[in-house]
């Protein structure tokens, strides 16, 4: 089948083009044939890519992430976030400048202190003066203090150090929180505690749409948590780690990989421009 005016066309090229999802036979100048074919091919390719990527992680409200390992570029959507390998637990946590430490010297209350690590990485203690703290684990710092006090002032000094606030354990709270921002954490901070630090959720937030982003050596991962499920005891209150980004979405938000990438980008920018705590 050909169009009625094919015989009168100067080049006589007969092509089939897709117009409004229906095949219609028409005659086009040769230079327009390749343009039409290119546009249709590009449209089909992009549509297929977008739908396959977003459909992997878009589900019903309250269960948006339906696959345990959907990928979005560097971002991997998972059902569970394991601890980062660098966490090392409380005893292995490294002290950073601006951390706040509680130091307890057994049976010598006069030496007990709550101090902030100086920008230089040092702390000042009674009798022994300046002591290096930054870069050491909590246990290594305890042993350093014990050696210095035992050398001149205390026999068999026993010292316990507790990290009250850690600059290295910063948590970014973004989205539908009453007080979004960057907060110091501890080695024991949980998601519910972090939400409380940020003043709780706004009236627009959906308790089932909290997403925690975490950095690993092989890329970023994100998992969905429900505050209502944690509060009701249906799910455990997950522990948070330094560098975690927590984003609360509004109840009307449709969660797809594009939303998660955008939220991560905005929150990460906030971290870069933040004033040190």
Give the chain's end-to-end CA distance (angstroms, integer): 75
Residues 41 and 173 placed together within one structural domain of the fold: no
Supply the pLDDT for residue 257: 64
* Domain boundary, last residue among 118, 146, 165: 165
* pLDDT of the residue at 87: 55
Residues 108 and 15 both lie in one domain: no
* 235 and 258 housed in the same domain: yes
pLDDT digit string (tens) for the chain, length 277 residues: 444 444 444 343 333 333 333 333 333 443 443 434 343 344 334 344 333 333 333 332 333 343 333 444 478 889 989 988 755 544 456 888 888 999 999 999 999 999 999 999 999 999 999 999 999 999 999 999 999 999 999 999 999 999 888 877 789 999 999 999 999 887 789 999 999 999 999 999 999 999 999 988 888 999 999 999 999 999 999 999 888 999 999 988 777 666 777 777 767 665 444 433 4
Residue of 155, 154, 186, 158 lying closest to 170 (CA atoms): 186
* Domain assignment present for 120: yes
Final residue of a structural domain among 109, 134, 165: 165
Domain assignment of residue 41, given as a range:
6-51
Claim to verify: residue 142 and residue 240 sit in the same structural domain: no
Q: Is 11 part of a structural domain of the chain?
A: yes
The CATH number that applies at residue 219 is 3.10.560.10
User: How high is the pLDDT of residue 26?
Assistant: 39
CATH code, domain carrying 115: 3.30.1950.10
The pLDDT of residue 22 is: 34
Find the Cα–Cα–Cα–Cα dihedral 181, 186, 187, 191, rounded to 10°.
-40
**Claim to verify: residue 68 and residue 125 sit in the same structural domain:** no
Total-model pTM: 0.54
pLDDT at 269 (0 to 100) = 67
Distance (Å, whole) CA 58 – CA 52: 10
Q: Give the burial string for 211-222 (b: 16+ CB within 10 Å, else e).
A: bbbbbeeeebbb
Do 172 and 161 share a domain, yes or no? no
Distance in angstroms (rounded) separating the CA atoms of residues 178 and 145 = 41
Q: 165 vs 96, 106, 170, 267, CA distance in Å?
A: 10, 22, 9, 21
Q: What pLDDT is stored for residue 270 in this prediction?
A: 56
**For residue 56, what pLDDT is reported?**
32
Please indicate, yes or no, whether residues 140 and 109 belong to a single structural domain of this protein: yes
Q: Looking at the structure, do residues 191 and 81 belong to the same domain, yes or no?
A: yes
Distances (CA, A) of 152 to 103, 107, 123, 139, 146: 19, 17, 19, 21, 11
pLDDT at 62: 36
Residues 105 and 190 in one domain: no
Domains of the chain: total? 3
Same domain, 186 and 264: yes
Residue 1 lies inside a defined structural domain of this protein: no
For residue 118, being part of any structural domain is answered with: yes
Domain boundary among 104, 136, 165: 165
Q: Which residues pair with 245 in a beta bridge?
A: 172, 213
């Amino acid at each position: 089948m050909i169009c009625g005016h094919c015989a009168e066309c100067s080049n006589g090229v007969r092509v089939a083009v897709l117009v409004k999802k229906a095949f219609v036979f028409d005659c086009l100048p040769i230079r327009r044939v390749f343009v039409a074919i290119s546009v249709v091919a590009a449209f089909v390719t992009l549509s297929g890519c977008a739908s396959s990527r977003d459909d992997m992680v878009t589900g019903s409200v309250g269960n948006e992430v339906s696959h345990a390992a959907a990928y979005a570029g560097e971002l991997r959507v998972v059902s569970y976030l394991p601890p980062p390998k660098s966490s090392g637990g409380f005893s292995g946590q490294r002290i950073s400048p601006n951390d706040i430490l509680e130091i307890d010297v057994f049976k010598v209350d006069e030496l007990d202190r709550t101090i902030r690590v100086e920008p230089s990485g040092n702390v000042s203690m009674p009798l022994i003066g300046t002591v290096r703290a930054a870069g050491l684990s909590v246990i290594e710092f305890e042993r350093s203090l014990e050696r210095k006090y035992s050398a001149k002032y205390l026999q068999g000094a026993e010292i316990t150090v507790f990290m009250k606030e850690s600059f290295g354990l910063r948590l970014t709270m973004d989205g539908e929180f009453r007080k979004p921002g960057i907060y110091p954490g501890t080695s024991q901070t949980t998601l519910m505690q972090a939400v409380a630090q940020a003043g709780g959720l706004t009236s627009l937030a959906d308790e089932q749409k909290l997403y925690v982003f975490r950095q690993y050596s092989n890329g970023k991962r994100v998992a969905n948590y429900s505050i209502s499920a944690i509060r009701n005891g249906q799910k455990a209150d997950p522990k948070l780690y330094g560098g975690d980004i927590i984003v609360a979405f509004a109840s009307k938000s449709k969660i797809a990989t594009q939303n998660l990438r955008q939220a991560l980008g905005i929150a990460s920018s906030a971290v870069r421009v933040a004033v040190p705590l």
